[in-house]
Structure 1
Amino acid sequence: MIKTVFIPFLLFSFSSFADDYFLNMKGQPTQGGLIIAQTNANAQVKINGKKAYKTDDGYFMFGFGRFAEKPIQLAITFAGTTYHATIPVTKRQFPTEVIDGLPPSKVTPPAEVYAQIKADNIKVGKARSFIDARKDFLEPFIWPANGRVSGVYGSRRILNGKPKRPHYGMDIANKTGTKVVAPASGKVRLAETGMYYTGGTIILDHGYGLTTTFMHLSKVNVEVGSYVHQGEKIGEIGMTGRATGPHLDWRVNLGKKTRLDPQLLIPKNPLPKHSD
């Protein structure tokens, strides 16, 4: 038997019940949005035709990238019946950032660093490839640092007149040495101090493919393989790598390809003031 549920509107939370089957979803189905869903523990879930990773109590995730336009198709099979749900994506208007007067090396890297850039990308890809059966992603996320939001997800960047890729992070500007904490508990998958683009860089794994990345750090206070709890210090804001001022570039990824908007995961106000 096949049953279809169509969800034609922007949602924050949604519940669908049919007999003993259920589907709960929370999140923002917009470009850059993450949806955390739960269904029956023994149900089989497919997202756009591919088997989804699911916790032992039925939680799973999916997200919409910066350029997403097509809806997500869910197929959930429970007790011999397959239920279909269509989750449309809401398009957003993103700002354009124009930055002039940068040194040429800040716009186009010299050929002699290409090998390092390639090696850095391999490390990052490996760090984002784990599918750990941990449910740290269910913690409500907090701000990783205090400061002013100086850059937003999805913005188009024109550097010295040259159009570049959109910005995929949330920039939090503050003085060098400002504490950076884990926005949710997780395992350290990458801890580097000298990456070409991002300088001091940490990647935390929050389970089932969800990772957060922290860039341009002046200090890295964790080691690969260690486990950190939400609110625990992991590093300090800096301007290492190709940064033009002290700030934290914070990013969220689901798997290797889906880049999400960190600001959609946190409260509007930053952390309570803390001492370093």
Structure 2
Amino acid sequence: MIADRRALLLGAGAFLAAGRARAQSEGDLDLSGRFVQGGHIIGRTWPRALVFVDGEGLTTASAAGLFIVGLDREAPGSVEIRVQDGRRSAWRTLEIAPGTFPMSRIDGLPPSTVEVPADPVLQARIQHEVALKTEGFASRIDGDGFRDGFVWPVENFRVSSRWGAQRILNGTPARPHYGIDLAVPAGSPIRAPAAGRVVLAQPNLHFEGGLVLIDHGQGLITAYLHQSRLDVRQGQDLMRGDLIGRVGMTGRATGPHLCWRMKWRDRNLDPSLLVRT
């Protein structure tokens, strides 16, 4: 692994929990992860216990008692995690550290890569593709493929854009970049970073180009954009290391790279923070 990767992980490492947060009874609720904006919380509790985040029931622990909660870019300074199994309950309030998000300015881009033309045919295509992606991100398979942590989906890469960066494109602020861009040569293999199920595999979307979505359980979904070739199909179960496809520059991309994204339900997460968690 190269220096960019080491610096990225060190920047997040300062926010690792200093030990495991525990509830009232030893073993009732064990929490670890990256307690920082863009990070995540991995918990172990009673099998199939209900999990509440700031009072809202959002997920259920797996048969092994494992669950995950995402912390988006705008996560508040604290979060309460409560689990309930019948009359038993346990809870813990965690402090969430602020993230550090770079700002980047890119000028001289072709207008077609920044603005969407007012073409009714194109607009209809985009709306159709939005529906496909929305259905994919709504997947909630019963599993805990995140339990053994993640590995990088490509090798020998350079981080060309960090997660959460605020981009100014041709002088106009865009929404934060909710992916981490990993620059590698075109045709490089992309492999599953953890076990999961393919819930979307589309080769030629307008924005994302070749796109694959993988559900790792409980609504934790990773996305792989701009692929030149897809080697998986929707509904296929994957193990860590299985081939997903090949790096390309399809869709709205200015060079070959993998844009790697992650969502937990409606929250955007930094996938790099799950590497080796």
Aligned-partner SS, 1:218:
strand
Shift in alpha-carbon separation, 1:12–1:19, aligned structure 2, 3 A = closer
Read off the aligned partner of 1:142 and give its amino acid letter: V
CA–CA separation in structure 2 for the residues paired with 1:130 and 1:228: 15
Q: Choose from 105, 115, 121 the match for 2:124.
A: 115
CA-to-aligned-CA distance 1:74-122 (integer Å, 9 cap, x gap)? 2233574543321222112211111111000111111222222221111
Q: Which residue in the other structure is 2:135 paired with?
A: 126
Read off the aligned partner of 1:139 and give its amino acid letter: D
Is the counterpart of residue 88 in structure 1 residue 95 in structure 2?
Answer: yes
Q: Contact conserved, 2:28 with 2:90, CA < 8 A, in 1?
A: no
Read off the aligned partner of 1:60 and give its amino acid letter: F
Superposed counterparts of 1:1-276, under 5 Å: 11=17, 13-19=19-25, 22-41=28-47, 43-51=49-57, 52-77=59-84, 80=87, 82-112=89-119, 113-146=122-155, 147-255=157-265, 257-267=266-276
Segments of 5+ residues of structure 2 without an aligned counterpart are 1-14
Read off the aligned partner of 1:265 and give its amino acid letter: L
Shift in alpha-carbon separation, 1:243–1:12, aligned structure 2, 3 A = farther
Aligned-partner SS, 1:18:
coil
CA-to-aligned-CA distance 1:148-195 (integer Å, 9 cap, x gap)? 111111000011111001101111111110111001111111111111
Aligned-partner SS, 1:137:
coil
Aligned-partner SS, 2:167:
strand
Shift in alpha-carbon separation, 1:43–1:209, aligned structure 2, 3 A = closer
Read off the aligned partner of 1:144 and give its amino acid letter: P
Shift in alpha-carbon separation, 1:12–1:244, aligned structure 2, 3 A = farther
Q: Which residue in the other structure is 1:3 paired with?
A: none
Read off the aligned partner of 2:32 and give its amino acid letter: K
CA-to-aligned-CA distance 1:103-147 (integer Å, 9 cap, x gap)? 001111112222222211111111111211122121220110121
Q: Percent identity of the aligned residues?
A: 37
CA–CA separation in structure 2 for the residues paired with 1:122 and 1:264: 28
CA–CA separation in structure 2 for the residues paired with 1:116 and 1:65: 29
Bigger drift between 51-60 and 103-112 goes to 51-60
Calculate the aligned-residue CA RMSD, in Å: 2.0
Aligned positions, number: 259
CA–CA separation in structure 1 for the residues paired with 2:169 and 2:72: 23
Q: Contact conserved, 2:67 with 2:144, CA < 8 A, in 1?
A: no
Aligned-partner SS, 2:28:
strand
1:13 CA displacement = 4.5
TM-score of the pair, normalised by structure 2: 0.87
Bigger drift between 74-83 and 33-42 goes to 74-83
CA–CA separation in structure 2 for the residues paired with 1:136 and 1:64: 18
CA–CA separation in structure 2 for the residues paired with 1:29 and 1:19: 22
